[in-house]
Amino acid sequence: MAVIGALVVSVAGYTAPAGAASAARTPQQVGPVSPTAALGTPELTKTGSSQDSIRQMVQCGDTMYAVGHFPSITQGGVAYPRTNVFSFSAIAPYTITSWSPDVNGDVNSIAFNGTDCADAYIGGDFTNVSGTAVENIAEIDTTTGAVDPTFGTDATNQVETLLAVGGHLLVGGYFGRINGTKDPFMASVSPVTGDDDGFLHLNISGTYSYCTPGGGPCTSSGNRSMVYNQQLSHGGTLDLVEGRFTSVGGQQREQIFMLNLATDPATVTGWTSPEFDGSNPSYPYQCYVSEAFYVRSAAWSPDDSTVYLATTGYHPNGLPTGNSPRSGDCDAAIAFPATQTSVLHTWITYTGCDSYYSVSADDGAVYVAGHPRWTENPNGCDFQGPGAVPDKGLQGLNPSTGEVEMNSADTGPLYTMTRANADNMLITDAGLWISSTNRYTVNDCGNATGKTAGGHAGICFLPYTS
């Protein structure tokens, strides 16, 4: 997810400078982050529910804001009632604040548009915030949790992603309308009123329908278009957008497109690939019917020259499960040139039919996470093929080659953690914050000591050591 405000720009796990109070990394700092997790961070209360999750974290000033699906948050053995939104200090000991808005449904994204972080925009699947009726979007006070009555709160279906940039609030999701706008699935609204500000008119449409292997019936994945995720470039003028669609701005675009925000209105760039846009039948771009939307997240390299993708998808539709070596963009981490034309990948590494859900990058590593068990596994599907490297959960890959980063003793991968579904990653000047589900009830993040000290369920922080 990507969020930008006058203080902090969260870009696919990167925090870029946007004001004097920013906690941004500088280009001179080089990763990768430490494989040892910081102790004492808040975590999801272990309710036994695999549905509990932290969907996204962003930093504004010295405070981290986290959203998702949860009834409470635990720190130091104490459970604090918090309903799908909370905040805590970005600096050790990471103290949970008293801020406690009561949101009656999932919160998928949070954004800021102000130098003092006094108000936050939240989007998701909810109808009430702190006693005020709303519909899936709201602006709330970061002190009281109260809804700002001057900002529109009517989205006809759930909101998945928010990005405040250049005086606009870019909103993506399943909605057909938002605060009266006629732009479905992705719209630009005024951060002041919530009304359509005319910056986006993309006419997004289409879904994925194709026949199952062996001549079975045709199926449709989800049966509706939607926008799921977005990431702002470090330069602040380009926006990557992922979702389920086949046409954007009058052009064929599938899985992902790139917006030019330097024009008014914003325009769809020429960046695309026959590997996933369907323009070249020699590329098996379609993934398995049950995971036809597979590009879940993207990230920019620090110099904006490369785009990294994290995908689900199982295996290409129509090919046998055991087909090897793997082909297509399914269940893979992939690097593409960011050139605004049709491009092919520069490297691709396969998990062996396990999903990635998020990707982030710094100068030292490309971080990918989801529930993989292996990397460099093009010859296996749900088993370890020849040459595959066992590497659960978070993986660090070489930005130039996609090969796994090894530990200092060269005896195994640099990072080890359980197979947690990491929905989002955020890089700040201090390190890498990982947001995840509580799918396995107790998550091991980074080291056994960290697990003993609390488990890091839902939230894990891997600091820079230099």
CB 379 within 8 A of CB 341: no
Per DSSP, which regions of 233-346 are E strands?
Answer: 238-244, 247-248, 251-252, 256-260, 267-268, 295-300, 306-311, 332-337
Question: Residue range 82-87: average pLDDT?
Answer: 98
Q: Is the pLDDT of residue 415 over 60?
A: yes
Judged by average pLDDT, the poorest of 279-283, 290-294, 319-323 is 279-283
Question: Residue range 220-231: average pLDDT?
Answer: 82
Query: Beta 247-248 vs 251-252: how paired, if at all?
Result: antiparallel
Q: Is the pLDDT of residue 244 over 90?
A: yes
What are the structure tokens assigned to 140, written together? 């709330």
Return the bridge partners of 227, or none: 243
- Over the Cα atoms of the chain, what is R_g? 21
Output phi, psi for 412, to 5 deg.
180, 175
Quick one: pLDDT at residue 411?
A: 86
Higher local confidence (pLDDT), 313 or 12:
313
CB 109 within 8 A of CB 56: yes
Quick one: pLDDT at residue 440?
A: 57
Q: What percent of the chain has pLDDT over 70?
A: 83
Quick one: pLDDT at residue 51?
A: 82
Q: Using pLDDT thresholds of 50, 70 and 90, give the confidence band for residue 443.
A: low
* Domain 2-463 = CATH 3.10.129.10: no
CB 59 within 8 A of CB 8: yes
Of 395, 408, 400, 389, give the one whose Cα is nearest residue 465: 408
Please state, in angstroms and rounded to a whole number, the distance separating the CA atoms of residues 131 and 277: 44
Judged by average pLDDT, the poorest of 33-47, 214-228, 417-431 is 214-228
pTM over 0.85: yes
Q: Is the pLDDT of residue 447 over 60?
A: no
DSSP output for 198-216: SS-----B---EEEPTTT-
CB 348 within 8 A of CB 285: no
Output phi, psi for 274, to 5 deg.
-65, -15
> Tell me: the pLDDT tens digits for 118-163?
999 999 999 999 999 999 999 999 999 999 999 999 999 999 999 9
Per domain, the residue ranges of the chain are 2-463
Of 147, 142, 231, 154, give the one whose Cα is nearest residue 194: 154
Count other Cβ atoms within 10 Å, centred on residue 20.
8
Query: Beta 306-311 vs 295-300: how paired, if at all?
Result: antiparallel
Quick one: pLDDT at residue 29?
A: 57
Quick one: pLDDT at residue 65?
A: 98
